[in-house]
Amino acid sequence: MAEPDGNGAPGARGDAAERDAESPASDTELGASGDPESKNVVCMVGAGISTSAGIPDFRSPGTGLYANLQSYHLPYPEAIFEISFFKQHPEPFFALARELYPGQFKPTVCHYFMRLLQEKGLLLRCYTQNIDTLERVAGLDPELLVEAHGTFFTSHCLRPSCRQPYDLQWMKERIFSSLVPKCEKCQSVVKPDIVFFGESLPSRFFTLLQSDFQKVDLLLIMGTSLQVQPFASLVSRVPTNTPRLLINKEKTGQSDTFMSLMGFGCGMDFDSDKAYRDVAWLGECDAGCLALAELLGWKKELEELVRREHAAIDAKTAIDAKTAQGGKGKARGGEGKAQGGEGKTPEDTGERRGGSRDPTP
């Protein structure tokens, strides 16, 4: 998801190259990304690619998720995503889930840019920190997707001896009924398969990064603060000659001496005299993807894909709403008929009673 706001100005290698946000990025700024030799693109994405869909990021001052959790009476904001707190108090998380639940939002330009990379055979893998499932909605092949922090797409019972699986629709019905989802087999709490603080990342994450980050010839980083480990450390796993492009509201992932000593150094270098492969495009992620698509000659194709896919989502939403409304109408109609039938009963009874009376003289 998008990270803390920067100054909103698109930038390149160094402050001198920064310009007004309305100006398109130059070939120099995005030259590494336009490299026609790049055939194995790995995308690393965070909350910033979903904010234009209406989903808040985590850390932006004032608007981020962590800044707006007062109503849940948490000991500290991050507790809502801590597994130890969740096991004792699952209610705040499920209340928040009603606001952020997948299916209420449309994928953004960034999501569909990755879809284009996939269609053109250039996407090696997308590693996402997001749990909103918008990569799936946008049409990314699940085989090309690593949901590093898990997903709402599936859920499981928390009891180790049970682990009964549940699907997205099952979970949705319970969350929107304001219920804490309970396992149908053992009555333990059921949790979406998102990774809470205190839980391990999916094994798929560790398995695929071993090969993916040896093959990658362009690393595209979008909408992430690169503050959460071990996800953030992935940027340092690519070969030393691999270009790394950051599209974000502010520069991030730069070298940190302490984290480097701990083995988590990101090591991105946008501004020093030794900088040779890292490029930062600063601004809204959708604008950055459109600028990159224009350099690649894909802008019209991308815009048409977004228009077509959003129209399809709108049409499906309208049909679903009409079907749901029709179902409610039928239910009300059935109740009306039942009441109407009951209304006739006294008359019928009166007729029967009348028939039983003595005949009028």
Amino acid letter, 197: F
The answer to whether 223 and 2 are in contact (CB under 8 A) is: yes
DSSP state, 254? B
Closest CA to 232 of 207, 262, 204: 262
Give the orientation angle of helix 285-296 with respect to helix 299-356, to 10 degrees: 130
Burial class (CB in 10 A: 0-12, 13-18, 19+), 75: exposed
Residues contacting residue 28 through CB under 8 Å, at least 6 positions apart: 12, 17
- Cis ω on the peptide bond leading into residue 56 (within 30° of 0)? no
**For this structure, is 111 an active site residue?**
no
Tell me how far apart the alpha carbons of residues 355 and 66 are, in angstroms, rounded to a whole number: 76
Beta-carbon neighbour count of residue 78 at 10 Å?
14
Closest CA to 46 of 108, 120, 123: 108
Catalytic site residue from 89, 111, 149, 156: 149
Name the phi and psi angles at 36, rounded to 5: -65, -10
The string over 171-180, giving b where at least 16 C-beta atoms fall within 10 Å of a residue's C-beta and e elsewhere, is bbebbeeeee
The answer to whether 148 and 165 are in contact (CB under 8 A) is: no
Tokens of 34: 């336009």
DSSP 283-308: S-HHHHHHHHHHHHT-HHHHHHHHHH
Burial class (CB in 10 A: 0-12, 13-18, 19+), 266: buried
Residues known to be catalytic: 149
